Structures are given as C-alpha cells and as structure tokens.
Structure 1
Amino acid sequence: LVVCPYFLNEGFPNNTDGWLRPAADIVRKAGGLLICDEVQSGFGRTGTHFWAHEKMDVVPDVMTLGKPMANGHPVGGVIARGDIVSEFRKGYRYFNTFGGNPVSCAAAMAVLDEIEAENLVANAKRTGDYARQRLNALQAKYDIIGDVRGSGLIFGAEMVLDKTAKEPASAFTDGIINAMRHRGIILSKLGRHKNTLKIRPPMPFSKANADLLFDTLDDVLNKSLNML
C-alpha cells in the first residue's frame, strides 16, 4: 500500500489521528508492505508530529522523502527497514551518479538544523491554528465555502455551489486561484473534483503572512461572488 499518510492530493480529509493503523494491519497480515510518501506531509508540516505517519499511528516499512528536504536543492531520500534493503540489494542492482553526494547531504542537514533552531514545527501548529480561524471566519461569511480543514501548515477550503448537496464549485475554484495569482499569491487545487483550495506555505510562514493571505482571499471572494 503506497500512500501519502495525510492524503494531501485527495483533499486532505479530516481523518482522526490513528486512522491509518487498521489499514496498515490488514496490509501486513496479507504479507504486504506499507510505503508512506512523506514528500509533502513530512518535516513537521502537520504541526503535531514530525512525520504525518506518526499522526496516523503507523510506522511504515518504507518511507520516501523529497522536495522540502533541502529547501529547493534537488535531493530526495528513501528510508526502509534493514531486511527490506538487504533483500532489495540481493535482487536488484541500483546505481545513482549523484546518490549520497556531500553537497546535497549538507543542504539537507542545514534544513534539519534550521527546523530545530527556529522551532518551526511549533510555528506550524501556532500559525496553522490561526490560519484555520481566519478560514472559519470566511466560511461563516461566504456560503461558497462548504468545508475548512487541515493541520499545521496544510490547510484549505472546499468550494461548493450548495452546502447541503455539496455540489463542487470546480470552475469557481479555478477563478479564485487565477485571481489570487494576479494578486501575487500562488494557491493550487486538489481533490476528486478539483474544488479544494490547497494552501501549503513555507514553514516560516507567520501570522502576518496569514493575514495578508486571507485579507486578499476575502477581497477576491467578495469580488468574484458579486460577478456571478
């Protein structure tokens, strides 16, 4: 079973802590492996745990890392149990020209040092809680926002044409993203119907940054709804 333990691309549903554990148990009982992709959800981004799989109460057999691992420098990693790596080495020949190079490793180590020195996991929790307060206020103001969810510096709003029927407002979401882009703020969309705003800012993101983001989003929503 290969999953992002926080299901980011699926719209990061509000699953309770420990939600993934029963699925992991079933996979292992069947002789399978749990592979967690922590590229988007790792390194403290949830604000509650350093890895999202901890939040879901599982320990993966294999974990993949990348992108934020070195703050833009191209580096990725794979972590696995020793027996899995040993079995892989028996059956396959793997070679990587740049694997383990000291420059990439130094960049990745610097990121870990910065996360610890600046207490960025706690910042993700503090700023993320504030961001969802701002989003909840917008939800109370605009019926187009059907749901608000997230943890730490992963948060967003699901756009719906009808709060009862939950009809996706996919085209409207596209318009909001484009309007925000023209205002200098880059957002994206995800979920089955591509109607969920995905907001995943850098780990040093502050409350002042959040105010700029949501003040702008408030203005864009107001103007966009008046044009419908």
Structure 2
Amino acid sequence: MNRSLTRNILRAAHRTPRSDQRFAHLVEVDITFAAGAFTDAPAPWSPGEGFREVAGAAWIGGNADGTQTAVVAGVGPKELPAAGGGVWTDEEVWTVTSVDTAVFAWLDDKPDRVTWALGREDVEIERLPYSAHPHKVVADYWHEFYMEHGFIPERLAGGMYGLTLACAPNHSWEYGPRPLADACRRVVAAFGGRAAVRAVTREEVPEWRTPAPVSLMRNLATI
C-alpha cells in the first residue's frame, strides 16, 4: 500500500502543470480512517437541533420570531466585567440572540467578537462558565490528541473521520511529493485507513498564506 501510494503521489506531481503561482496546483491525499480508529473520542457537542457550526466552538441557529441565536464556547477573558460582574478571569460560554445579523458577522472568523454586543438593548446575552461545559471535554481531548500526534481529523458523515494532506509541487522540495508520501505513511501506519490521491487546481490562490493541508503535511512529515 505504501509503495502504490507513493507512486500515485509522484505520478500526480509529475503531471502538475508548471506555474508561477506556487500553490495553484496541489496534489491532495484524502485519508479515511478505519472504523474504530477514534472510538475513545467524545461525541461532538452541539447547542441542539437547528444549529450549524460556523467555526470551531461557534454555532448559529434561527428562531421562529425572526431572531438568530449564536453560541460561542470558550470565550477568553477580555477587558469586560465577568458574568458575575467582577474581573473577568475565566473562559465563558456566550449565548447571544438578536434580530440584527451584524451581531453575528464575525462568527466564521473571530467568533469571540460576539462580545462586542454587550450592553446593546436589542441583544439578549447569557453567559455561563466554560470550565464545566460539555464542549470543554471535547476540546480538551482533541487538544491533547493534537499535541501528541500533530493533527486533528475531520469528522465525516456517518461518524467516520478523515484527513486531507497536500503538497505544492511548484513551490519547493519542502512542499513536495516525497514529504507528502512520508506524512501519509506515518498517519496510515498509526491509525489505519484508506488513502486516495487527487490533483487539484485552485482558482484563487492567496500567495501570502500557505494552504493549511500543506503546512500540516510538513509538520507530520517530521514527526
């Protein structure tokens, strides 16, 4: 399996068109982990039916009265009073309800900015301690997993997990196919699963930002 995976990665890399845009063409490997690979992982937490996760630890849902409700877990202390009115020293969970969609404009990027709505008469806010919240159990588990293994798998439909790694053949050896093959080999050897190779062309390429799958591949290749 390792040899065929390496051959497929090298073959896709050799077929990559030459381009001055270093990250315009990627060779990606989708790894689908074997059933039971993460059986000890806690079940994901959600505020309930009708909510969708828009960022890590941030959810939003619509209400029958035309308002929206956002839940943001793990909001760190700011220069604001704590939920009890004193100095804010511990993380909190904010549940924010408003008819004004601008209140939720940052949820998919910087969800903690929902705190800017504090004090508005047209916004309802509930603040709870994060230390005993069920989401913290999930977050702590995956934080420890990342510190040990260097990645966090994506939860797929049906309770499965996956991971996408990539290289950019037009960039340099550091982002090349052999480190990609090495990273995939390490992950599959540790957790099992199936790997599928594909070539990808990206229409919009921010040259100032390294694609996340590529950065992650470099980290895993050195573990």
TM-score (norm 1): 0.22
Larger proportion of strand? 2
**Greater RCO (CA < 8 Å, at least 6 residues apart):** 2
Larger proportion of helix? 1
Please identify the structure whose Cα radius of gyration is greater.
Answer: 2
